Amino acid sequence: MTRLIISLMVVLCTFQVSSENSVLAAKAKKSTLLDIVQLSPDKLVAVGERGHVLLSEDKGQKWRQVTTPTQAMLTAVTFVDQNTGYAVGHNQVIIKTTDGGDTWQLMYERPADIDYPAFMDVWFRNAEWGLAVGAYGLMVETRNGGQDWAEVDNSNLENLEIGGFPHFYSISFDKKSERLYMAGELGSVSVSEDYGDNWEKINSPYTGSFFNIGVSASGSIHAMGLRGHLFRSTDQGVTWQEIETNTTASINNMVEVEGSQIMYLAVDGVMLFSKDDGQTVSIIQDNDRAGLMAGALVDLNRLVVVGDKGVKQIDLDGHNLTN
């Protein structure tokens, strides 16, 4: 698969049966994995196809798969603390763990015999209050730890030109301003100042898809997506600077390495490295051309990333990281 866009959007409607438990697979570590989080200096949790959830307690050297109550593609995972976490995916599946990922409980899903768009990202303000977003403007929230979910009124985010809602791919929280940002299809960018209750559109610098939006430690906003497009804002999205990436590889995520250093992860093994908080980037491309979806910095110079070829270790010392 050239482009992990196919995995990211993976048809945006559900085709997998989620009412059965995931199957333990000998090669789960090499299966398509779409997201990863770091719970501690040593512990990582990754999620992906067929309901796969993998855990590592040694900074990504060894992995073990755990059973989940779904075989749907899991697209995103987040943790509130060391124990409580949520993963979302196709069939509008939402699963929850309260023991650091060892066991999972099904909290929400749509009937498997009806096509429903997928959840693409999830964010929790605390253990009780969370938000999941996805295709065709899908947005639901819980205020009781996932026991009940209700649709959020986001009618003002409708794209009048297409007569419907864009796909929402990514949400990101800025701890300094306590603003929640969201990005998606057709250049959609929006902000919430009340933890997702109400949303307002932000003037977008681009009409193509943004697959991810992130906020760096400095407070700058980074919107990234289709065909290597990368934009940066230092005024909460009022104005944007387009960053020259010298690539058409679609960008899926960003990982802060150290200080003002950022690594952007893309398809075809492309990584973009910045030493100045995203103002300029240099391009790196690994020979295996694996599609890279998300990553975690486990040591000063080592990333653990996931994508269409499963888990991968990236030694930053082995790359010429210069601007």
Stated pTM of the model: 0.92
What letter does residue 161 receive in the DSSP assignment? T
Question: Which residue type does 152 have?
Answer: V
Any domain includes 96: yes
Residue 20 CB coordination number (10 Å): 13
Q: Please write the tens of the pLDDT for every residue from 143-166.
A: 999 999 999 999 999 988 888 999
The candidate with the shortest Cα–Cα distance to 35, out of 81, 88, 84, is: 88
Q: Please write the tens of the pLDDT for every residue from 21-63.
A: 999 999 999 999 999 999 999 999 999 999 999 999 999 999 9
Any domain includes 69: yes
Any domain includes 244: yes
Any domain includes 323: no
Any domain includes 173: yes
Q: How far is CA 177 from the centre of its chain?
A: 21
Range of the domain at 233: 5-318
What is the structure's pLDDT at 3? 34
Q: Give the span between the Cα atoms of 295 and 311, in whole angstroms.
A: 9
Q: Please write the tens of the pLDDT for every residue from 265-293.
A: 999 999 999 999 999 999 999 888 999 99
Any domain includes 49: yes
87: domain CATH number? 2.130.10.10
Beta strands in 28-118 (DSSP E): 33-38, 44-48, 53-56, 64-66, 74-79, 85-89, 94-97, 105-108
Q: Which residue has the tokens 């482009």?
A: 3
Q: Please write the tens of the pLDDT for every residue from 65-106.
A: 999 999 999 999 999 999 999 999 999 999 999 999 999 999
Residue percentage of the chain with pLDDT more than 90: 84
Q: Give the span between the Cα atoms of 119 and 159, in whole angstroms.
A: 19
Assign 249 a pLDDT band (cuts: 50, 70, 90).
Answer: very high
Q: Give the span between the Cα atoms of 237 and 230, in whole angstroms.
A: 13
Residue percentage of the chain with pLDDT more than 70: 91
Any domain includes 25: yes
Any domain includes 209: yes
Q: How many domains does the chain have?
A: 1
